[in-house]
Structure 1
Amino acid sequence: MLHFVRLVLISIQFLLASMVNLLICFARPFNPDNSRLCGWMFSAPALKLLGLKMRLETADFQSLPNPFVVVANHQSNWDLFVLGSAVPRRTVSLGKKSLKWIPFFGQIYWLAGNILIDRGNAVKAKAAMLHTTAVMQEQDTSIWVFAEGTRNLGRGLLPFKKGAFQMAINAGVPIVPLCCSSYKSTMNLNRWRSGNIIVKTLAPIPTAGLTLDDMPALMEQCRTQMVACIAELDARAQA
């Protein structure tokens, strides 16, 4: 019963947050700091409604100068509510072009300045990836990427796609791994306290001077660090 009540409340909260976020985006369309504000509006009230206790260990991350590439693990659609509070200033994300047509969220996502990629069109996808380099180098803006390319459903970190690392190397900006504990497999919305979540950022990994030949080693370094960090966060969140 509590699970159902929470789903109803979170649906109402989503609609209310969407209306506020649309006003923010209409007031300053495509401003790269919209994602931070909109993420907070979706996330902060939702965590309380869902009974999730969040611990953010991201202080260094929030003060890190732009630009950089955030590489985060992607568990489920709940990430909107879980990770929305962790978005740093002037940070946009990469998303599928089809997201634009999701009612409310899609329009907010587009107007917030996020970068939409047509994965079915190789030419347009490549052009969008090149655009991210210009965004980082010329607009004091960072990029958030779910490097797995799809949701892992809390079953462990999937192999990484190359895009985030190619962007970072091309722009010569650091990669910041962001790890979220595995809440998808432990969250129970029928409990008053439905779960603990810890989000932690790791030390930036520099890419200055690297070439695309260094990309496989860079991907492995980032993924190895994140696997170890997520395991540590899981142990702490479940203690």
Structure 2
Amino acid sequence: MDAAATSVQRRRWLPWARRQAAAYLAAAGGGGGDGLVASAVSAARVVACFLAMMVTTAVWAVVMLLLLPWPCERIRQSNVYGHVTGRMLLWILGNPIKVEGLEHLRARGIFICNHASPLDIFLVMWLAPTGTVGIAKKEIIWYPLFGQLYVLANHLRIDRSNPAVAIESMKEVAREVVKNNLSLILFPEGTRSRDGRLLPFKKGFVHAALQTRLPIVPIVVTGTHQAWRNNSVRVRPVPLTVKVLPPIRTDGWEEGQISEHLETVRSLYVRNLPDSQKPLDALAARKAN
């Protein structure tokens, strides 16, 4: 898409976002979504999300148990679970969502997403194509409900106890992806950003690309850090945007240029995120120039 078209899209999107945010804040009682009515509405929605997730998790747990002899089918059924549960939770929470570039999710790839809120997880659950395996730290098994279903669904875990072990874990993940004709989805920062600003990327997704030669598909999410803030149980009615960027081919990548490949991909996020989510060093470099 050329710069002129991007500028037109931005001019169309910003007024829509402002109108949606104003309408939601007015309905919630104003005050940036921090009033008593807004708090009660948010609490009711969070409880409804938890109850709804308990129901869908219980249903799909039975499905996974029936599919124990077929590990790949468990992965695909978990994607169906994600489509249903992720979209349902987002609908319950009520944030306006704008999605661009869905056509880039139609082919196999390594899908990566920035991570600043639990809402990011709901979004990738909803949008990940069928046949996509997730990757998470091995400790996810201790997360109530979700962690147990994650393991039962045959999604992959890595040991992040030290870099060498993590790289070997990622290579094993890549072998499973190639063997079973799957896609992969992960958060390249490796952890959740506390203030929404982009963190440094881990090298795991580059190692996965070198092993699988699948294209990397960046998913840029904005607004979730404001909608569900760190150390808060309140979900505010902030508009969310999801922009899926065109795939990046990796068939010509070389192992000797891992750091360069990593920064090439991360720079796309820096360019596409708003200033409130850009890393501070990128903002400082822009001012210096």
The answer to whether the superposition gives a TM-score over 0.5 is: yes
- 2:273 aligns to what SS in structure 1? helix
Q: Does 2:165 correspond to 1:115?
A: no
Structure 2 CA distance for partners of 1:211 and 1:183, relative to 1, 3 Å: same
TM-score (norm 1): 0.86
1:151 shift after superposition: 0.3
TM-score (norm 2): 0.72
1:62 shift after superposition: 2.9
Q: Does 2:71 correspond to 1:28?
A: no
Where does 1:68-83 land on structure 2 (aligned, <5 Å)? 68-83=109-124
Q: Is the 8 A contact 1:154 1:183 kept in 2?
A: no
1:43 shift after superposition: 1.2
1:57 shift after superposition: 2.1
Q: Does 2:46 correspond to 1:7?
A: yes
The structure where helix makes up a greater share of residues is: 2
- 2:274 aligns to what SS in structure 1? helix
The residue aligned with 1:136 is: 177
1:187 shift after superposition: 5.1
Alpha-carbon distance in 2 for matches of 1:136, 1:11: 31
Q: Which has the larger radius of gyration?
A: 2
The residue aligned with 1:206 is: 249
The residue aligned with 1:237 is: none
The structure where strand makes up a greater share of residues is: 1
- 2:226 aligns to what SS in structure 1? coil
Given residue 74 of structure 1, which amino acid in structure 2 is its aligned partner? Answer: H
Q: Does 2:269 correspond to 1:222?
A: no
1:70 shift after superposition: 1.2
Q: Does 2:211 correspond to 1:162?
A: no
1:72 shift after superposition: 0.9
The residue aligned with 2:56 is: 17
1:114 shift after superposition: 1.1
- 1:185 aligns to what SS in structure 2? helix
How many residues matched?
A: 230
Q: CA RMSD in A?
A: 2.4
Q: Is the 8 A contact 1:118 1:124 kept in 2?
A: yes
- 1:214 aligns to what SS in structure 2? helix
- 2:42 aligns to what SS in structure 1? helix
Write out per-residue CA displacement over residues 27-84 of structure 1, whole angstroms, 9 at most, x where no aligned residue: 33433323321212321111121111222224223311x2x21121011223232332
RCO greater where, 1 or 2, for CA within 8 Å and sep 6 or more?
1
Alpha-carbon distance in 2 for matches of 1:101, 1:51: 29
1:118 shift after superposition: 2.1
Structure 2 CA distance for partners of 1:184 and 1:190, relative to 1, 3 Å: closer
Write out per-residue CA displacement over residues 118-144 of structure 1, whole angstroms, 9 at most, x where no aligned residue: 222667544422222212222110111
- Per mean C-alpha deviation after superposition, the further-off stretch among 162-171 and 21-30 is 21-30
The residue aligned with 1:57 is: 100
Given residue 167 of structure 1, which amino acid in structure 2 is its aligned partner? Answer: A
Structure 1, gaps ≥5 residues long? 235-239
Q: Is the 8 A contact 2:171 2:207 kept in 1?
A: no
1:89 shift after superposition: 1.8
1:160 shift after superposition: 0.3
Given residue 57 of structure 2, which amino acid in structure 1 is its aligned partner? Answer: S
Aligned-pair identity in percent equals 27
- 1:8 aligns to what SS in structure 2? helix
- 1:195 aligns to what SS in structure 2? coil
The residue aligned with 1:147 is: 188
Alpha-carbon distance in 1 for matches of 2:174, 2:235: 44
Alpha-carbon distance in 2 for matches of 1:21, 1:44: 16
Structure 2, gaps ≥5 residues long? 1-39, 278-289
Where does 1:64-103 land on structure 2 (aligned, <5 Å)? 64=107, 66=108, 68-103=109-144
1:154 shift after superposition: 4.6
